[in-house]
Structure 1
Amino acid sequence: MYILITGASGFVGSQLIKTLSNQSLGYQLVVLSRKENFNLSSNILQLVRETSDNFFDKGIPDNIDVIIHLAGRAHILNDQLLDPLDEFRKVNVDGTLQLARQALEKKVKRFIFISSIGVNGAVTSQQPFTEDALPQPHADYALSKLEAEEALKILFAESDTELVIIRPPLVYAAHAPGNFARLLKLVATNLPLPFAGTKNRRSFVALENLVDFIQICIEHPNAANQTFLVADQSRISTRELVQYLKQGMGKPARFIYLPQPLMKLGAACIGKSKLYEQLFESLEVDTTKAQKLLGWTAPLSTQQAMLQAGQNYLKMKE
C-alpha cells in the first residue's frame, strides 16, 4: 500500500511516519515536507517539497492508495497585517481542495483529512461533543477547517474516493508546540498555580493515541466516508492535568484558590479570554462512534500519557 502524508515533518506527521515506517506494516510512504533535513528510511520512497503556501501544484505521484492530509495553517503570526480568515482559507481550504482534486484525478482510494474539534465549538456545558452535533466553529482556524470538510464532502460525493474526517482536541506530548508547551514550562516551575477549585472536564488526545487512530483509519472498511471525534478515554480537570504532569516530573503539585469569576474578569481585561476558556472551561468529547464502528480504544490512558509527557519534558531539558 502506497501512502502519501502531508505535513510530514510536523508534530503529528513526524510521529505518524515513525510509526508507519515500521517495515512489518508493509506500507510504502511518500512524504511531503517543507524541511529538507528529513530522515528517510528504506520504505519512504520519495520526499516532495511543499511550496511556501502549502499548495500542491507539482502534482502527486501515481499509484497512491491513501492520502493523510496533516498539513495546514494553524497560526497567523502577524495578524495586524493580514486578514486572518483569508489566510487560513488559502491554505486550509484552497490548498486542501487542490490536493483533493489531484487525489480524484489519480483515483486515490481514501483521503484522510485531519480537522479539529474546534469545528464543534470551544466549550461544552451539558453534553460532550459528538459527530452529530451542530458545528459551532469558535475561531477563524476552526471555520476554515469546517469549510474544508464541507467542500471535501461535495467534491468526493460522486466518486470512488473514500473520505475520512478526524477531529482531535488538543494533541499533547513532551515536545508538543503551542499552548501545551507553555503549560509544561509553567508546570516545571515551583510556582503555585490557581487551580485549587477547578472542576472543569476536558478531553485531550495523546500523540500516540491519535497516531494509532489514524493508522486504523487507513484500512478499516467502516471508516469510509465517516467523521470521527477522537480523544483519550478519560476527561480530566486542569487541576488533574497539572497533578499528572507534576508527578511525571517528580515535583509536588502546589495550588492556590482564586474565585473563577475573578479569574474570568481578569482574563477579559488583559485580552486573554481564550486562555481562560482553555484552562477553566470544559470541553468534553464523546468517542463512542469510534469505539463502536471501528472497535478503537486508546492504547494509552490519560494518566499514563500525561506522566510520560512530564517525564520526557524534563529529559529534554537536561
Structure 2
Amino acid sequence: MTQRVLVTGANGFVGKAVSRALLQRGDTVAGLVRRAHTAEEGVREWHFDAADFQGIEERWPTDMQCDAVIHLAARVHVMRDTIADPPTAYRATNVSGALRVAAAARRAGARRFVFVSSIKAVGESSTGRPIAETDEPAPTDPYGISKLEAERALTEYGRSSGMEIVIVRPPLVYGPGVRANFLQLMSAVARGIPLPLGAIEARRSLVFVDNLADALVHCATDPRAAGETFHVTDGRDLSVSELARALAMQLHAPARLVPVPVGVLRLAGRVTGRSAAVDRLVGELRLDSSHICERLGWYPPHTVEHGLLETAAWYRATH
C-alpha cells in the first residue's frame, strides 16, 4: 500500500536516496528542505528554514497530509566545532527540533515517525563483539548524547501520544555524493598517496546509502517496525586497510598502504592532538544488524562491492 511520506533533510546525501526509494515504490513524497529547489524531481518541496523547526506546526501546509515521517534533518557531528556551547546547540536541533516535527506531523495525520539516529548514540567503539540494540548506551560527545536524548524523548512522546516511533542507528554511510572522511580517503587512494593503513586489522561496520534508504522505507511502511530500534549495516564489516584496497581496485589506482604499527599511529595521534581521529581509524566499531533482518525480514539489497563500485564511479565522474 502506498503512503504519503514527509522526508526532512530531503536534499541531503541520505535524503535524496530515501526520496528516490519512496518514489520508486509509488509513494507521495514531500521534502522539507532549508534551501529551495534542491530536492529530487518528483518530490513536493517544502522550503522551511526556521531554526530548530520553530513554528513548524503553524506553518504546516493545510493541504499536506502525511502518513509517516522519515526525520533525517539534524545538527550533524563536526570535527572542530567553533560554537560556544555545543551541547545546547545539538540539543536544540536534535532533541527539541525532532519533537516539534513529530508533534506537528501527528496533527497532520502521521501515524509513524522514523528517527534516523546514529551509532554514536551508543558509543564510538565495540570491544570483541558487535554492538546490539540492547547494549547500554554510553555516548561520548555532544552529538551522540543529543541523539540518545532524542531517541528517549521521542520514545516517551510515542508512549503518551500513540504515535509509532521507529529508531534507526546507522554507522558510517557511503555512496555517490559522500563527503567528509570517506571522501578524503577515496581522494588519497585515487591520487596514489602512500597511506599508513596497512597494519590496521580492526573492522568497522558501514552502510551503503541505498541500503540505508531501503531499510528506512521498510521502517516507514512495515507494521512490524512500530516501536523498534534497529542497527542497519551492509552485513559485512571491513578493516580500513581492506576498505582502502577495495577502493583502489574500483578506482583503478595503486593501493599504496604502508604497514605502520597501530601503536605508532596512536602515539602520533597523541603527539598531534588527533587521538580521537586516530582511534576512529584504528579502533573496532562493529554493529549487530540481525534484529532488523529477524523482525522485518530485511536484508541489504546491495553488496559492499556494488556500493563501492557505485561510489568510485561517482568519484571518477566528478573529480
Q: Is the 8 A contact 1:56 1:99 kept in 2?
A: no
Q: Equivalent residue of 2:197, what SS?
A: coil
Tell me how far 1:56 sits from its aligned partner.
4.6
In 2, distance between residues paired with 1:9 and 1:234? 28
Which residue in the other structure is 2:76 paired with? 74
Distance 1:63 1:52, change over 3 A: closer
Q: Is the 8 A contact 1:54 1:71 kept in 2?
A: no
Which residue in the other structure is 2:271 paired with? 269
Question: For 1:123-142, what aligned pairs fall within 5 Å after superposition?
Answer: 123-142=125-144
In 1, distance between residues paired with 2:295 and 2:79? 39
Q: Is the 8 A contact 1:76 1:84 kept in 2?
A: no
Tell me how far 1:4 sits from its aligned partner.
0.7
Q: Is the 8 A contact 1:246 1:252 kept in 2?
A: yes
Structure 1-normalised TM-score?
0.93
Question: For 1:175-214, what aligned pairs fall within 5 Å after superposition?
Answer: 175-214=177-216
In 1, distance between residues paired with 2:245 and 2:80? 35
**For residues 73-99 of structure 1, what are the alpha-carbon distances to aligned partners after superposition, in whole Å with 9 as ceiling and x for unaligned?**
014587344211111111101111111
**For residues 112-135 of structure 1, what are the alpha-carbon distances to aligned partners after superposition, in whole Å with 9 as ceiling and x for unaligned?**
000000111101112110000000
Distance 1:97 1:39, change over 3 A: closer
Which residue in the other structure is 2:49 paired with? 51
In 2, distance between residues paired with 1:17 and 1:183? 27
1:227 aligns with 2:229: yes
**For residues 21-42 of structure 1, what are the alpha-carbon distances to aligned partners after superposition, in whole Å with 9 as ceiling and x for unaligned?**
23xx231111100121235645
In 2, distance between residues paired with 1:132 and 1:169? 16
Give the length in aligned residue pairs.
Answer: 313
Unmatched runs of 5 consecutive residues or more in structure 2: none
Which residue in the other structure is 2:38 paired with? 38
Q: Equivalent residue of 2:7, what SS?
A: strand
Distance 1:125 1:131, change over 3 A: same
In 1, distance between residues paired with 2:149 and 2:254? 44
The partner residue of 1:297 within 296, 299, 308 is 299
Which residue in the other structure is 1:86 paired with? 88
Which residue in the other structure is 1:11 paired with? 13
Which residue in the other structure is 2:245 paired with? 243
Q: Is the 8 A contact 1:247 1:307 kept in 2?
A: no
Tell me how far 1:265 sits from its aligned partner.
1.1
Q: Equivalent residue of 2:294, what SS?
A: helix
1:120 aligns with 2:122: yes
Q: Equivalent residue of 1:3, what SS?
A: strand
Distance 1:269 1:77, change over 3 A: closer
Unmatched runs of 5 consecutive residues or more in structure 1: none
In 2, distance between residues paired with 1:209 and 1:29? 19
Calculate percent identity across the aligned residue pairs: 33
Tell me how far 1:105 sits from its aligned partner.
2.9
In 2, distance between residues paired with 1:260 and 1:76? 25
Q: Is the 8 A contact 2:11 2:33 kept in 1?
A: yes
Distance 1:49 1:78, change over 3 A: farther
Q: Is the 8 A contact 1:66 1:108 kept in 2?
A: yes
Q: Equivalent residue of 2:211, what SS?
A: helix
Which residue in the other structure is 1:154 paired with? 156
Letter of the 2:29 partner, please give it.
L
In 2, distance between residues paired with 1:77 and 1:171? 17
Tell me how far 1:16 sits from its aligned partner.
1.3
Letter of the 1:264 partner, please give it.
R
In 2, distance between residues paired with 1:78 and 1:257? 29
